[in-house]
Amino acid sequence: MVDRSLNAHGRPAETAGSPDAQAGYVLGHTARELDRLDLQGRLYREVTRRAFLEGGIAPGMHVLDLGCGSGDVSCLAAGLVGSDGSVLGIDRDAGTVDAARQRARDRGVTNVSFEVASIGDTLGGAPFDALVGRFILMHLPDPARALAAAASSVRAGGPIVFVESSMSSIRTHHSFPHSPVYDAIVQWKCAVVGGSGADLDAGLRLRRTFLDAGLPEPTTRLDAQVEGGPDTPLYHYLAESVRSMLPRARALGITGFDEASVDSLAERLRADVLTRSGVLVNWPVVAACSRAP
């Protein structure tokens, strides 16, 4: 259950002291960005599924998904907990929550629900059996505090599993042979994401974040897809990621890409890789698994 305190606009009220009061999502919440999140979900689904299984997500559990976005992680968890379990996905953006509900309906997932809510003091009611999240802690100003607040809603011993990006890991070694087009994307995205206040090392920092949140020593794993060939969706995914970041880049005064250059970016990247018979390293992720104290 989610106990929401609403402001005058009918949206969850947040105070300056709330764990995610200053969080800012770099890529926005447009319909096209939600489609990109769906593609991202397909690229990272297997590593997320493996992390959830290794972390102890099991049939019959009632799971909280923190920062649910378009609902991919929530629906994945719903499949693991089965018809006797349930998943609640929460996100601060009402449009994103509406989209997640529609996507769940389109997939025929009936044991998942979504609410507009914040972290920590907006959560109440009976404890959850598990807490999960993907690519959310990196956008929070105090991830350990947010994680501790969310973990307080989990029963003692319940699994806590998060998957976070380690963007800085591929700043120098990201393609083989070296792809100048991909290098431009990597450096530009790191500049935009880092300039917006997100943590480029959130994945490698996960162990420290879990410990600072008062959780037991987690198990951690680094994963990265290595993709090449003519048909990988990675080219389109990377181009759409750049497109979603353009408004933030302009606000930060970061140049290098615009709408016209992004329109041809996927094909230029594809040609660059195929010409070299090469491969790209997709953004690495770290999965961390622990238990609620």
Q: Which residues make beta-bridge pairs with 164?
A: 286
Higher pLDDT, 216 or 244: 216
Range in 15-24, 51-60, 260-269 the model is least confident about: 15-24
Q: Is the model's pLDDT at 100 over the cut of 60?
A: yes
The H or E element spanning position 211 is: helix 206-212
Q: What percent of the chain has pLDDT over 70?
A: 87
Q: What is the pLDDT of residues 68-84, one digit of tens each?
A: 988 999 999 999 999 99
User: Mean pLDDT over residues 30-55, rounded?
Assistant: 85
Q: Is the model's pLDDT at 219 over the cut of 70?
A: yes
Higher pLDDT, 206 or 18: 206
CB 203 within 8 A of CB 284: yes
Estimate to the nearest angstrom the gap between the alpha carbon of 1 and the chain centroid. Answer: 22
Per-residue model confidence (pLDDT) at position 16: 38
Per-residue model confidence (pLDDT) at position 30: 64
CA distances from 109 to 42, 71, 130, 211 (A): 16, 11, 19, 34
The candidate with the shortest Cα–Cα distance to 178, out of 282, 283, 280, is: 280
Higher pLDDT, 95 or 111: 111
**Strand duo 159-165 + 130-134: pairing:** parallel
- Non-local (6+) Cβ contacts of 200 within 8 A are 138, 165, 166, 167, 168, 190, 193, 194
The candidate with the shortest Cα–Cα distance to 1, out of 139, 153, 105, 135, is: 153
Q: What is the pLDDT of residues 134-183, one digit of tens each?
A: 999 999 999 999 999 999 999 999 999 999 999 999 999 999 999 999 99
Per-residue model confidence (pLDDT) at position 70: 86
Q: Is the model's pLDDT at 29 over the cut of 80?
A: no
